A and B are shown apart, each in its own frame.
Chain A
Amino acid sequence: MTPAEPSPTLTTESLALSYGPRRVIDSLGVSLPSGQVTAIVGPNGCGKSTLLSGLARLHKPESGAVLLNGADIQNLPARTLATQLALLPQEAVAPEGLTVSELIRFGRQPHQGWLRQWSAEDQRVVEHALAAAGLEALAERPLEALSGGQRQRAWIAMTIAQQTPLLLLDEPTSALDLGHQIEVFELVRHLACHGRTVVMVLHDLASACRYADHLIALCDGQIVAQGAPAEVVTPELVRTLYQVDCTLMIDPDTGSPLLANVRRASP
């Protein structure tokens, strides 16, 4: 189900984020293209997860701002923000014993209230989220009984049920094997096809090239490149980010960049 509203825009304006005295992100200005999948990549500790939590208002900016349709998200009520922007944190954990459909129903929370606990809309959206994530058959299973990929899909289904035009995912595939990673990435593509704007932090540049429309490469809290993967990924960029050399090829099936013969950079 496509969010009914026109896609909102999420941008940052000279954003600075710090942990105590350490400035992790410095005067960063990004604009996240609507209806596309954006991947934030970069070496460990470059500030990509920090940037994502800044975008989700989990991290208060030291200066600058994150703007949703031009309005500073710091001024939005938590609930309003939760109807615009959904976040899946890294390694999310649920109370023991919760089933898939129970988890997904929690995604309806921002749309519900004390006297509006379960509407036809809620029911329709939860059923849709189960179907979109391919979890209908597992709806009443406890989360613990699922495979890693299924569980991650259940979490994404919860954010689908939140019906937000914007979806932020922090390393959604970090603990998954290849098959399960593909399950998750294909779901993400499916969501973007239906009009959602997805932003995900990835540590794997190869998956970012394959599944993202837009790439933001961070190094030491600064943007070193942004744009379509086919345009911005170069051996030089890979070297800057990860201190490795590689041979760059074009995937004959998808046209996206492929990294081959990756090796430690020669001095």
Chain B
Amino acid sequence: MKSSASDLPTSAFVPERRSQSIAAPPGYWRIAWISPRGNACSLLIERRGVAVSAGLGVALVCACVLYLSLGSMALAPSAVLPALFGRGEMISVFTVQELRLPRLVAACLTGAAFALAGVLMQTLARNRLATPGIIGIDNGATAFAVASVVGMGVSLAPPAMALAGAATAAALTFGLVAGGGTQGYRFIVAGIGVGAVFGAVTQLMLARVAIDTANAAYPWTVGSLNARPGDAVGLLAVGLGVGVIAAFIVARPLSLMRFKDATAYGLGVNVKARRFQVLMLSVVLTALAVAVAGPVGMVGLIGPEIARSLSSSRQVPLVASLLAGALVMVLADLAGRTLLAPIEIPVGIVTAVIGGPWLLWILMRPQRSHA
């Protein structure tokens, strides 16, 4: 059977003629070259996407400078850069390099990972509500990570536990709607239920251990960048790097998965396989981010929402979501560190307090954004 399949006529390769001018579609730049093997290659770059990403990138850099300069010991923004490279007063160098920079890196990485996981899951489910935070994956990861912190007889590192928890929650959610697919509210309702159960399990574990142990696990339950395990940050950095590459590989089929399954399938997307890959990617990114910062699921909702409101609907705004997520996380943690100083508000609470109402405004303002 396989051999007869290859006998099918495939569309004839039409070599590009030099003389023919090829106009990029409106809103794109086209880059074309001839590969060493003589194939005509072409890339399309969406202008709006580039502009949005550049804008968000600049905003993120500004936010990072602000983040490094503000705090209990304020530095002039002009002193931040020298301090970053070890020049200037000892105390500034120490504050920037040892205290603020690691935390800033963790904020950027977790924000980017949560938002990328969010936009992937939303696209997969064709629903803006279907982020890992809402369908219980954050809570699953948290419950397992807390179990390891409070020592419920398991001694795996938090990232491994978070990964196991996220996978369990995802498997439960998808198992409960078996056959129903990832579309529609059934899936979301099942996810909310699974999340509620894991949330309760977390609380139950905390209620049963000594107060000191419970305190040690507290950052996990609200989402905080205060107690970040070093190895978890490293793992997240690697995971995010791999995840971004993987997301780019699935970007083209992903933009077709925004259509109905039948349409995507008709255009040659192996929907089932792609859906599984995207789901895995989203679950792993969420778990790695939870292992660092706990459940800051709101970023998975806000980041993609900002990205979508700025971007065109030609493609899924992966880069913009990632940058917006990092930006939100950095600003939220900055606010949490400085607003009520010396008391620190956990970043999970800041994103919920500021992000909640803001999200409502986004959802309720006159429609302009692209679902």
The residue of chain B having its C-beta at the shortest distance from the C-beta of A92 within the complex is: B263
| CA gap between A111 and B28 in the complex, in Å | 19
Please state if A116 and B22 are interface contacts (CB–CB under 8 Å): no
Partner of B44, one of A69, A83, A89, A117: A117
Known contacts A116-B41, A118-B24: does B17 contact A89 (CB below 8 Å)?
A: no
Q: Is B38 an interface residue (CB 8 A)?
A: no
In the assembled complex, 15 residue pairs joining A and B whose CB atoms fall closer than 8 Å, in A order, are: A6-B9, A8-B8, A58-B261, A69-B7, A75-B1, A77-B270, A80-B8, A94-B259, A97-B312, A102-B25, A106-B256, A109-B256, A115-B42, A120-B16, A163-B11
Please state if A110 and B267 are interface contacts (CB–CB under 8 Å): yes
- Chain A residues proximal to chain B, CB less than 8 Å: 4-6, 8, 53, 56-58, 68-72, 75-89, 92-98, 101-102, 105-107, 109-112, 114-121, 123, 126, 140, 159, 162-163
7 closest Cβ pairs, A-B complex: A82-B268, A87-B266, A89-B262, A5-B9, A97-B313, A110-B268, A79-B268
Please state if A83 and B371 are interface contacts (CB–CB under 8 Å): no
Extra contacts besides A106-B267, A110-B268, A118-B24 (4): CB < 8 Å: A93-B259, A96-B371, A119-B22, A120-B20
| CA gap between A13 and B314 in the complex, in Å | 40
The residue of chain B having its C-beta at the shortest distance from the C-beta of A3 within the complex is: B11
| CA gap between A202 and B343 in the complex, in Å | 68
| CA gap between A120 and B314 in the complex, in Å | 20
Residues in B neighbouring A70, C-beta threshold 8 A: 4
- Chain B residues proximal to chain A, CB less than 8 Å: 1-2, 4-5, 7-12, 14, 16-17, 20, 22-26, 28, 30, 35, 39-44, 249, 252, 255-256, 258-263, 265-270, 312-314, 367, 369-371
Please state if A78 and B268 are interface contacts (CB–CB under 8 Å): yes
Please state if A115 and B41 are interface contacts (CB–CB under 8 Å): yes
Known contacts A79-B268, A117-B42, A118-B22: does B259 contact A95 (CB below 8 Å)?
A: yes
Residues in A neighbouring B252, C-beta threshold 8 A: 109, 112, 114
| CA gap between A68 and B1 in the complex, in Å | 11
Partner of B267, one of A6, A109, A117, A163: A109
Please state if B11 and A83 are interface contacts (CB–CB under 8 Å): yes
Please state if A107 and B4 are interface contacts (CB–CB under 8 Å): no
Residues in B neighbouring A116, C-beta threshold 8 A: 39-42
The residue of chain A having its C-beta at the shortest distance from the C-beta of B19 within the complex is: A120
Known contacts A117-B42, A120-B16: does B26 contact A107 (CB below 8 Å)?
A: no
User: In whole Å, how far is B266's beta carbon from the nearest beta carbon of chain A?
Assistant: 4
Residues in A neighbouring B17, C-beta threshold 8 A: 120
Please state if B267 and A102 are interface contacts (CB–CB under 8 Å): no
Please state if B259 and A92 are interface contacts (CB–CB under 8 Å): yes
Please state if A76 and B5 are interface contacts (CB–CB under 8 Å): yes
| CA gap between A233 and B129 in the complex, in Å | 50
| CA gap between A121 and B260 in the complex, in Å | 27
